[in-house]
């Protein structure tokens, strides 16, 4: 959960809004929420949304929670096939993954990377998570999710 300053739409005073990510209905509906309570006039709202955090909030999450990366421990035919299924990748993307064996292939927020990681682990694929700037970071998970959600 993170916080952001937000101007109250009723009285104009700034208060803290809180936001976070959740995984209801994973993998197709990664979700996020935002809630606000004005300390001056008491006005409040709660909002839920489907998909990754909106860019404005995701930028804050990445700055405060760090950029998380995922790499495959073995770039075998089996693990590539599972990756293709989980992320709905095409053959050109798979070739890219193959070419960067042993390095990070995905990056995103901790929550996003952990969701993908657990989906792959469930399918028997061994992965390593790390945090820090990706050295190549083929896929921004946000973009993969947009593709998934668009289907």
User: Which listed residue (8, 57, 72, 141) binds Zn ion by CB under 5 A?
Assistant: 8
User: Which listed residue (29, 35, 43, 130) binds Zn ion by CB under 5 A?
Assistant: 43
Answer yes or no whether residue 57 interacts with Zn ion by CB under 5 A.
no
Asked if 129 and 70 count as a contact pair (C-beta separation under 8 A), the reply is yes
Binding window for Zn ion (CB under 5 A); candidates: 22-30, 34-42, 72-80, 92-100: 34-42
Peptide bond into 4 cis (omega under 30): no
Answer yes or no whether residue 40 interacts with Zn ion by CB under 5 A.
yes
Answer yes or no whether residue 41 interacts with Zn ion by CB under 5 A.
yes
Binding window for Zn ion (CB under 5 A); candidates: 38-46, 54-62, 111-119, 141-149: 38-46
CA distances from 142 to 12, 17, 57, 108 (A): 32, 22, 12, 7
Answer yes or no whether residue 16 interacts with Zn ion by CB under 5 A.
no
Answer yes or no whether residue 11 interacts with Zn ion by CB under 5 A.
yes
Nearest Cα to Cα of residue 111 among 33, 15, 11, 10: 33
For Zn ion, the closer of residues 40 and 95 by Cβ is 40
Nearest Cα to Cα of residue 58 among 106, 18, 109: 109
Answer yes or no whether residue 118 interacts with Zn ion by CB under 5 A.
no
C-alpha span between 39 and 106 (Å, rounded) = 39
DSSP state letters, 2-32? EEEEEE-TTT--EEEEEEEEE-TTTTTT-EE
For Zn ion, the closer of residues 39 and 50 by Cβ is 39
Which residues form the interface with Zn ion (CB under 5 A)? Answer: 8, 10-11, 38, 40-41, 43
């Amino acid at each position: 959960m993170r916080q952001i300053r937000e101007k109250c739409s009723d009285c104009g005073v700034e208060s803290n809004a809180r936001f976070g990510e959740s995984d209801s209905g994973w993998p197709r509906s990664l979700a996020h929420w935002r809630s606000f309570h004005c300390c001056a006039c008491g006005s409040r709202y709660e909002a839920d949304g489907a998909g990754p955090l909106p860019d404005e909030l995701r930028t804050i999450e990445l700055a405060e929670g760090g950029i998380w990366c995922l790499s495959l421990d073995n770039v075998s035919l089996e693990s590539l096939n599972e990756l293709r299924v989980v992320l709905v990748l095409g053959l050109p993307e798979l070739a890219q993954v193959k070419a960067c064996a042993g390095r990070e292939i995905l990056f995103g927020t901790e929550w996003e990377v952990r969701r993908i990681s657990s989906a792959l682990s469930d399918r028997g694929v061994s992965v390593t998570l790390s945090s820090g700037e990706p050295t190549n970071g083929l896929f921004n998970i946000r973009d993969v999710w947009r593709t998934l959600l668009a289907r």
